[in-house]
Chain A
């Protein structure tokens, strides 16, 4: 497992696209170190690998196909109503390609 360091945590936060303060990283380091120790304790359970990873409470089967009926789409005004930066009916962003 990757060693937990403040730099590793900073890199993770950067990939998640937010910043944290130095004090917050220290608190996070302690919390994550405690958590990994608890997970290590769980790994001591001998029959753990006998279980399949559980991704949902029980198997879900959704096999229906809805009728292929055209429905009214979201109106442009509605789609743009919550965007903070718009221009000429589109969401406006800083230039992506130079």
Chain B
């Protein structure tokens, strides 16, 4: 087993014992990245990573992230490294500043290896709309399964054990759904918990920065490192940052957990239903209170339309600056309008254009009341229903996805309640984490925990307990057969 297959804490201890070095590990990670066939990378910064890793000579005992290699989603600004958000309209764009999360990891001396693919500009949940084409799921070497999106490349490099963690972003379920399909811990903390300065905005009222890891402890380590107020992001919170690596070890006995029956009832996969029910029974057996609660079917069915209207409306205005003039490929024209029109026509994929038109249509004066404002009111209605549950329960437990990763060309409609409910975590800004529950014929099934805002420690503590129950800490595409 390589140190790359270990947890952040284990790699740190190996550094302290002198068993390996950041340079050696970076070399090995680069070799794995080059050998990987999942189309997960926008940029591999081989020289930058090796040059930096070579400077790391003396391990810092208190700094768990010292020398840890990682990748970042390509919608996070990285100074001096091309950042395209997997869109042709940003081809060649090299930021002049680092996103706050990148700067924080740089300060902690983590080693950035490069940038990962995404659904263009973060829009989409399939991992198929980026400028480099489809990103594949490492669990399906014959490339017949989706990995999901939009943080498709970050999920792939973590599941393929190229790095122990990767940064992502989540506007609807863009970390938590691919985490489910790739057998990972995928965590988006409370909206405002982690600075979004330097994240390319898709829908700022829903956008979160988060990460993929292969165990809960690593997620707690990263949350502690990345959380906190940032004056460069007016929406970042000054709420106290807690000692998550310690708190995630606390017993969840005494927590009250709700399972929304209508979400579970919408599952059709028999293995998922059986494994989920078994996990609930195990929690109850251990003394954790788990109750079934109910929400109206129509309320849960309205999540996707509400999400699509709000996110598209926000996206269409936020991406108006992508004009092919200040950055991105320049196309000659007789007028600046022609320059812009050529850049945007050639630069955006079909799906992105459709989302922009939908958003623009929803914002037209004649339509605003019936589409945009109605969606915003429905968002409030959904969040009020969830907060009502949180008035009595600490956490909500449910499936992270209805099944294992879908085929590249799904035979069934991907539009069920269980498919779309994770966006509720974005509507209310709730901390929300996916983790693997079981393997079905070698492919991961995932579950989700969502908590009250700024109560990440409870999410992590129950996730840690569940991880002990499943025995899937450290799961990757490389060791899935052993873990089955």
Closest Cβ of chain B: how far from A37's Cβ, in Å? 9
CA distance A16 to B353 in the complex (A): 9
> Is B128 an interface position by the 8 A CB rule?
no
Query: Which range contains the number of B residues in contact with the other chain?
Result: 35 or more
B19-27, B112-120, B145-153, B376-384 - the one binding chain A: B376-384
CA distance A4 to B357 in the complex (A): 12
- In contact, A57 and B383 (Cβ under 8 angstroms): yes
> Is B282 an interface position by the 8 A CB rule?
no
In the complex, the chain A residue whose C-beta lies closest to that of B378 is A42
CA distance A76 to B376 in the complex (A): 41
Segment 35-85 of A: residues with Cβ below 8 Å from B: 35-36, 38-43, 45, 47-49, 51-58, 60, 62, 64, 66, 74, 78-79, 81-85
* Most chain B CB atoms below 10 A, which of A35, A38, A85: A35
Residues 78-98 of A, flagged 1 when their CB comes within 8 A of B and 0 if not, give 110111110000010110100
CA distance A2 to B47 in the complex (A): 54
Name B's interface SS.
Answer: helix
> Is B408 an interface position by the 8 A CB rule?
no
- In contact, B429 and A58 (Cβ under 8 angstroms): yes
B90-98, B132-140, B272-280, B440-448 - the one binding chain A: B90-98
Instruction: Tell me which residues across on chain B come within 8 A of A4, comparing CB atoms.
Output: 361
- In contact, A96 and B453 (Cβ under 8 angstroms): no
* Most chain B CB atoms below 10 A, which of A32, A60, A82: A82
Instruction: Tell me which residues across on chain A come within 8 A of B324, comparing CB atoms.
Output: 84
Q: Which residues of A contact B (CB under 8 A)?
A: 1-2, 4, 8-9, 12-13, 15-20, 24, 27-28, 31-32, 35-36, 38-43, 45, 47-49, 51-58, 60, 62, 64, 66, 74, 78-79, 81-85, 91, 93-94, 96
Enumerate 17 A-B pairs (CB-CB under 8 Å) in ascending A order: A9-B361, A12-B364, A17-B323, A39-B305, A39-B375, A42-B302, A42-B375, A48-B378, A54-B377, A57-B426, A58-B429, A60-B192, A64-B231, A82-B92, A84-B330, A93-B336, A94-B335
